[in-house]
Chains A and B, each alone.
Chain A
Amino acid sequence: MSKTLLEIEDLYARVGEKEIIKGFNLTINEGEVHAIMGPNGAGKSTLSYVLAGKPGYEVTSGSIKFKGKNLLAMSTEERAREGVFLCMQYPVEIPGVPSSTFMKHSVNAIRKHQNLPELDTMEFIKILREEGRKLGLDNEMIKRPVNVGFSGGEKKRLETLQMAILKPALSILDEADSGLDIDALKVVAEGVNALRDGKRSFLVITHYQRLLNYIVPDYVHVFADGHIVKSGDKNLALELEEKGYAEFVREK
């Protein structure tokens, strides 16, 4: 039996005064791909920010264990170093910081945490170029400031590139398909699939079933009103595609 990676128990969380996550439970084992689907406004993105530790997202009760450790006690950067990666729906632009510089700092912060020697610029650039090529990101783009002037597809490719380089234990993909054409979507999916090695796990948050044609999940959960209302296998996603979320929203 595979080991438990992430264990969320009876989680309640709020943003400002508004309670958004209400009694959420989820366990993800090593090597599993879970999809969370739900209507817009159900709190899917809130869940991803709570996992990443974004300031302003306050957990009021419940627990999250990651590799058996209390995730909620860790800072954002500690979570990332432990292996939590949030592939963002809207990655920010960082003018003046070249993507390559940013990623080098990121890789070395994580390597340092793992007691691995830091990569020098030459070694790093080599890896970056190799992985970049697979994702259709040329050297010129990698030198440009983080996400500045990138199209929606290019931003997602850069997110995927970071995921490919950092090789996180848990990747959370927050609406990874939003605003993507089919080619870009395939690139993102291939990036994810390349990392699927029976050890790494994925939490794919999405409104549409489309992405799940390319990243086939082991489990699908329906998320509405702050918690999971139904779980199943990949066929549940197809069902939702057909029937929509009406039945779950009505529960409110």
Chain B
Amino acid sequence: MAGLVQNIDLALPDLPILRYWRNRGLKAFEAQGVPTAKTEAWRYTKPRDLNSDDFILSVTLPIITKSEQTQKIPFACYPIIFENGILYSKISEMPSGLCIMPLIDALFMDIETQEQMGIHLDVENYPFAALNTYYLNQGVYIYVDSNVELERPIVLINHSSVGPENLFFNIHNLIVLKKGAKAEFVEYYNYSGAVKSRYFANIVNEIFIEKDAELNHYKVQNEAFKANHVALNMVSVKEGGNYNGFCLQKGANIGRNETKVLLKEKNASARVDAAYIMNGWATLDTTTDIEHLAEETCSEQLVKGVIGGDARGVFQGKIHIAPKAVKTSGKQLHKALLLSDGAEIDVKPELEIFADDVKCSHGAASGELDEEQLFYMQSRGIDREEARQLLIDAYLDEVISRLQNDEISEWIRSLIKENQSIIG
């Protein structure tokens, strides 16, 4: 047992690219450390548990069958299964134009992947992404060839089944959509059993969307109630490309999903939506940073949360518009429903506009359940709890109904309802 930095055996220690990233990651993490109250980017989310010295690096696969996990997905997909952060070695058959393999295999075999790795990943500014690259080992490389439109979504599942020990695992994925490619990528972090450990899932996705390509990215974070989940999505979008991101967070004690999107060329666009629902003592953090780097780029964000108990919702949304990024539009809206006196939200919108002729807006609102609506429903025989539930579901549904894939949105609706007991 030890703290977050440990010396363990990782695959291919002598491969220069891996050595480079592992060294750089270590240095960058040591320079930054676990964020404290003074770390501006982590002002509202304090990952105190991550200072403890009882983490165990997850290195072996426990015994749970892969099919058990895929059965949880109610639609046809190309599955990628992780257990406690470890990839099942075999990846199912794939259609032509799609390649999925362990990231370190891709880095070993392919110079192009080596060159692409980490292009936008300034680990010096992201402590946990730095830590993640120090342990660069687990994760997949996903490649969708030019003009290929995938019939099914790619679904990455990580299932946590840890015992009493505080496991720590890192997953690092690199996703490339070549020119004109279209794909859907789902990430599902879940657990089973009575998981009471403070395990730590540390995720990095590097996503490259080339000219006119389009990625719909859906994520569900439903970790065990004491767990820590920190993720960074580093997305770059080229001319005419489109990134559609959505993240539902409803688990973990500290959950942070951070997305940085670089709209690098003309007509690149992004939607970065999120929903969260939580009570207890948890903090769920949605942090976005959209960089409009070229003209006529467009971004949109709708984030809605439902917070009860003594839980806390955090939204930090930054929109940066570079001097040459004229005729761009950036919209951002965060809304939260507070169900108790102890519930709290912290919102930090930031607009940095260095260009003329741009359309930008941001807004934030919070409120409580509407007593008139509750009374109306009760007056029709619906009990108060059920009425609250209907209103909460409806509140989040404004985000869910924007998703482009009906099967996935139905699945996400069912996950929102699962084991949900939001008490005011």
Residues of B within 8 A of A102 (CB): 377, 380, 382, 390
Q: With the chains together, A86 CA to B370 CA distance in Å?
A: 19
Q: Are B391 and A94 in contact (CB under 8 A)?
A: yes
Q: With the chains together, A120 CA to B196 CA distance in Å?
A: 38
Q: With the chains together, A105 CA to B389 CA distance in Å?
A: 11
Contacts A94-B394, A96-B395, A97-B394 given; does A55 touch B371 at CB 8 Å? yes
Residues of B within 8 A of A145 (CB): 394
Least Cβ–Cβ distance between B396 and chain A, in angstroms: 8
Asked if A106 is at the interface (CB within 8 A of a chain B CB), the reply is: yes
Asked if B75 is at the interface (CB within 8 A of a chain A CB), the reply is: no
Asked if B398 is at the interface (CB within 8 A of a chain A CB), the reply is: yes
Contact with A along B361-385 (1 / 0, CB 8 A): 0000000001111011111111110
Interface segment, one of A76-84, A220-228, A236-244: A76-84
Least Cβ–Cβ distance between A155 and chain B, in angstroms: 11
Residues of A within 8 A of B378 (CB): 75-77, 80
Residues of A within 8 A of B371 (CB): 55
Least Cβ–Cβ distance between B408 and chain A, in angstroms: 19
Q: With the chains together, A146 CA to B370 CA distance in Å?
A: 14
Which of B380, B391, B397 has a CB less than 8 Å from the CB of A166? B380
Chain B 241-287 interface residues, beta-carbon cutoff 8 Å to A: none
Residues of B within 8 A of A54 (CB): 375, 379
Asked if A21 is at the interface (CB within 8 A of a chain B CB), the reply is: no
Chain A 75-119 interface residues, beta-carbon cutoff 8 Å to B: 75-77, 79-81, 85-86, 88, 91-92, 94-97, 101-103, 105-106, 109-110, 113
Q: Are B382 and A96 in contact (CB under 8 A)?
A: no
Q: Are B376 and A92 in contact (CB under 8 A)?
A: yes
Q: Are B381 and A113 in contact (CB under 8 A)?
A: yes
Residues of B within 8 A of A75 (CB): 378, 384
Residues of A within 8 A of B381 (CB): 77, 80-81, 106, 109-110, 113, 166
Most A CB within 10 A of own CB, among B386, B394, B395, B398: B394
Q: What interface size band does chain A fall in? A: 20 to 34
Residues of B within 8 A of A162 (CB): 380
At the interface, is chain B mostly helix, strand, loop or mixed? helix
Chain B 153-173 interface residues, beta-carbon cutoff 8 Å to A: none
Which of B376, B384, B386 has a CB less than 8 Å from the CB of A88? B376
Q: With the chains together, A166 CA to B377 CA distance in Å?
A: 13
Residues of A within 8 A of B390 (CB): 97, 101-102, 105
Q: With the chains together, A75 CA to B383 CA distance in Å?
A: 9
Chain B 383-416 interface residues, beta-carbon cutoff 8 Å to A: 383-384, 386, 390-391, 393-395, 397-398
Contacts A55-B371, A102-B390, A109-B386 given; does A94 touch B376 at CB 8 Å? yes
Residues of A within 8 A of B379 (CB): 52-54, 76-77, 79-80, 85-86, 88
Contact with B along A130-159 (1 / 0, CB 8 A): 000000000000000110000000000000
Q: Are B376 and A105 in contact (CB under 8 A)?
A: no
Chain B 72-131 interface residues, beta-carbon cutoff 8 Å to A: none
Q: With the chains together, A79 CA to B383 CA distance in Å?
A: 11
Q: With the chains together, A55 CA to B376 CA distance in Å?
A: 11
Which of A81, A91, A92, A113 has a CB less than 8 Å from the CB of B370? A92
Least Cβ–Cβ distance between A237 and chain B, in angstroms: 27
* Nearest opposing residue in chain A for B401, CB measure: A96
* Nearest opposing residue in chain A for B384, CB measure: A77
* Nearest opposing residue in chain B for A83, CB measure: B381
Chain B 181-202 interface residues, beta-carbon cutoff 8 Å to A: none
Residues of A within 8 A of B376 (CB): 88, 91-92, 94, 146
Residues of B within 8 A of A77 (CB): 378-379, 381-384
Least Cβ–Cβ distance between A15 and chain B, in angstroms: 14
Q: With the chains together, A46 CA to B285 CA distance in Å?
A: 45
Residues of A within 8 A of B377 (CB): 94, 102, 105-106
Q: With the chains together, A79 CA to B379 CA distance in Å?
A: 8
Q: With the chains together, A196 CA to B384 CA distance in Å?
A: 30
Contact with A along B306-346 (1 / 0, CB 8 A): 00000000000000000000000000000000000000000
Least Cβ–Cβ distance between A86 and chain B, in angstroms: 5
Residues of B within 8 A of A96 (CB): 391, 393-395, 397-398
Most A CB within 10 A of own CB, among B379, B386, B393: B379
Q: With the chains together, A94 CA to B391 CA distance in Å?
A: 8
Least Cβ–Cβ distance between A62 and chain B, in angstroms: 21
Q: With the chains together, A240 CA to B393 CA distance in Å?
A: 48
Q: With the chains together, A79 CA to B391 CA distance in Å?
A: 21
Residues of A within 8 A of B394 (CB): 94-97, 145
Least Cβ–Cβ distance between A85 and chain B, in angstroms: 8
Residues of A within 8 A of B383 (CB): 77, 109
Q: With the chains together, A101 CA to B413 CA distance in Å?
A: 14
Residues of A within 8 A of B375 (CB): 52, 54-55, 76
Least Cβ–Cβ distance between A144 and chain B, in angstroms: 13
Least Cβ–Cβ distance between B275 and chain A, in angstroms: 12
Most B CB within 10 A of own CB, among A53, A110, A146: A146
Contact with B along A54-81 (1 / 0, CB 8 A): 1100000000000000000001110111
Residues of B within 8 A of A86 (CB): 379
Least Cβ–Cβ distance between B374 and chain A, in angstroms: 9
Q: With the chains together, A75 CA to B381 CA distance in Å?
A: 10
What are 23 A-B contacts defined by CB distance under 8 Å? Answer: A75-B378, A75-B384, A77-B379, A77-B381, A77-B382, A77-B384, A79-B379, A80-B380, A86-B379, A88-B379, A92-B372, A94-B376, A94-B377, A94-B391, A94-B394, A96-B394, A96-B397, A97-B393, A97-B394, A102-B377, A103-B380, A106-B381, A106-B382
Given contacts A75-B384, A106-B381, 5 further A-B contacts (CB under 8 A): A77-B384, A92-B372, A92-B376, A95-B398, A113-B381
